[in-house]
Amino acid sequence: MFRAIGQAFTALGLGIAKSFTRVTSFLFKEVIEVMRRPSILLSLVLGPFVIMALFGVGYSGQRRPLETLVVIPPGANLPRDVNLYQQLGGPAVHVIGVTDNLEAGRAELQRQQIDLLVVAPPDVAEQFKAGKQSVIGVEYNQIDPVRDNYTRFVAYRQVQELNRALIQQVVQSGEQYVVQQTGSTEVTQLPPDVVAAPTRAELKNWAQSNPTVVTYFAPAVLALVLQHMGITLTALSMVRERLSGAIDIFRIAPVRTLEILIGKYLAYGFLSLVIAAAITGLLLGVLRVPLLGDPFWFAGIIALLTFASLGLGLFISVAANSERQAVQFAMLVLLASVFFSGFVLPLDEFFLPMQWAAYLLPVTHGIRLLQDFMLRGGTYAGWEILALAAIGGVLFLFTTLNLRRTLSRA
């Protein structure tokens, strides 16, 4: 009996020892495999570090001043000096001019050439003497809920500064709070709220959609998902065929480089567009995100973004030497897209060189265009459509040349 128990414990110990040996052998095998390619290990560390370093250096941390146009109604007894209104506005705004053409100013606001349109009241002095507040119209065009709140804060802040300047002017000129009407024995008592605030702001947002977090970020998420999905689907494509030996078959088969690439574009493009249609349906049907623009233009932007994303993925696939490297490159592109595309932080808060670099990412243009077509009904940034098409075309050309060189090797 004791002998049997001893044999059982011996067998159990041998089994544990053998299992430990097999586990540690696989452990050392994988570690050695990674250490044999120090470039991959180095890039795993340096890749995210470089992106974070570029983010730290390239992000200014400051909001740009709001481009502001002041409208003075014809016949209003108000100064038209730009420097005066710039002093009242402070560093949060940049007064680009003073005009009396309200409709022209609104047209610039619709084209997003300016951020604020300040419409001055025509009769500030008369309203003040009558014991009434004057209304300053502040118009803007924002779909970003964060910038919507910031614009409102800046507008109210500017009105407070204007009221302070008016009160200071009244006190310095010796005006009293009780005004004697000429030719009358009646005395007009100014209400305290009018004395404290001679003007008030009346804000109007000309954006066609209500700025909320869901509606604003939904198109951005759609663009980011489409790019990452296109890159992920294609990044491993040529690497697997190279490792499986299919590239050798392509070298001797009666098939051209363009035929290989076009076939891959069509296959992965079909899958990407089907998924894009499903995500769009969920956004419109479940989250109630509006689609104010032409559906055909919207579909065209989706197709261009998919085309450019597949090109970037195939370019990575041709350039990568292994599946790990291809996956790593895809993740680095995703990380760079989150930081530099305007997905989280506005692009204009980065220094100019980083803005130029960000425009090399397809998702940067995709976010702007999808937000415009879904939430504004159209876009005035037509150059971004051309830029997205150019990125896709250049990537297609580079991938074609690299794949042709790969297939021509003996």
Q: Reduced to 3 states, what is the DSSP secondary structure of residue 69?
A: strand
In terms of residues, how long is the chain?
410
Q: What is the mean pLDDT of residues 99-104?
A: 90
Instruction: Using the predicted structure, report yes or no on whether residue 15 has a pLDDT greater than 60.
Output: yes
Closest by alpha carbon to 312, among 386, 373, 226, 244?
226
Sheet with 116-119: list strands edge to edge.
Answer: 93-99, 66-71, 116-119, 134-140, 199-205
Instruction: Using the predicted structure, report yes or no on whether residue 315 has a pLDDT greater than 60.
Output: yes
Break the chain into its structural domains and give their ranges: 66-205, 211-408
In this prediction, residue 14 carries a pLDDT of 67
Instruction: Using the predicted structure, report yes or no on whether residue 62 has a pLDDT greater than 50.
Output: yes
What token pair was written down for 175?
A: 């005006």
Instruction: Using the predicted structure, report yes or no on whether residue 172 has a pLDDT greater than 70.
Output: no
CB 230 within 8 A of CB 309: yes
The rounded distance, in Å, linking the Cα atoms of 318 and 398 is 10
* Number of C-beta neighbours around residue 184 at 10 A: 8
Tens digit of each residue's pLDDT (9 = 90 or more) over 219-261 = 999 999 999 999 988 888 877 777 777 776 776 777 787 888 8
Closest by alpha carbon to 67, among 120, 103, 105?
105
CB 132 within 8 A of CB 194: yes
How many angstroms from the chain centroid is the CA of residue 160? Answer: 32
Instruction: Using the predicted structure, report yes or no on whether residue 29 has a pLDDT greater than 60.
Output: no
Tens digit of each residue's pLDDT (9 = 90 or more) over 191-217 = 666 666 677 788 999 998 888 999 999
- Biggest distance spanned by C-alpha atoms of the chain: 129
Burial group, residue 352, by CB count within 10 angstroms (0-12, 13-18, 19+) = exposed
CB 44 within 8 A of CB 93: no
pTM (2 d.p.): 0.83
Q: How many CA atoms lie within 13 A of 175 on its CB side?
A: 15
The rounded distance, in Å, linking the Cα atoms of 270 and 234 is 13
CB 231 within 8 A of CB 269: no
How many angstroms from the chain centroid is the CA of residue 283? Answer: 18
Q: Which residues pair with 118 in a beta bridge?
A: 70, 138
The rounded distance, in Å, linking the Cα atoms of 118 and 95 is 10
First to last CA, the chain: 70
Closest by alpha carbon to 166, among 138, 191, 134?
134
CB 29 within 8 A of CB 68: no
How many angstroms from the chain centroid is the CA of residue 328? Answer: 23
pLDDT band at 20 (very low <50, low <70, confident <90, very high): low
What token pair was written down for 345?
A: 């932080």
The rounded distance, in Å, linking the Cα atoms of 323 and 39 is 14
In this prediction, residue 34 carries a pLDDT of 57
CB 113 within 8 A of CB 97: no
Q: Reduced to 3 states, what is the DSSP secondary structure of residue 202?
A: strand
- In 3-132 the beta strands, taken as DSSP E runs, fall at 66-71, 93-99, 116-119
CB 341 within 8 A of CB 363: yes
Of 7-21, 103-117, 300-314, 375-389, the range with the lowest mean pLDDT is 7-21
Residue at token pair 């597949």? 310
Mean pLDDT of the residues in the chain: 82
Please spell the DSSP secondary structure of 115-171, one letter per residue. SEEEE--S-HHHHHHTT-PEEEEEEE----HHHHHHHHHHHHHHHHHHHHHHHHHHH
Architecture of domain 66-205: 3-Layer(aba) Sandwich (3.40)
In this prediction, residue 242 carries a pLDDT of 74
Higher-confidence residue of 67 and 15: namely 67
In this prediction, residue 185 carries a pLDDT of 47
Of 23-32, 143-152, 275-284, 311-320, the range with the lowest mean pLDDT is 23-32
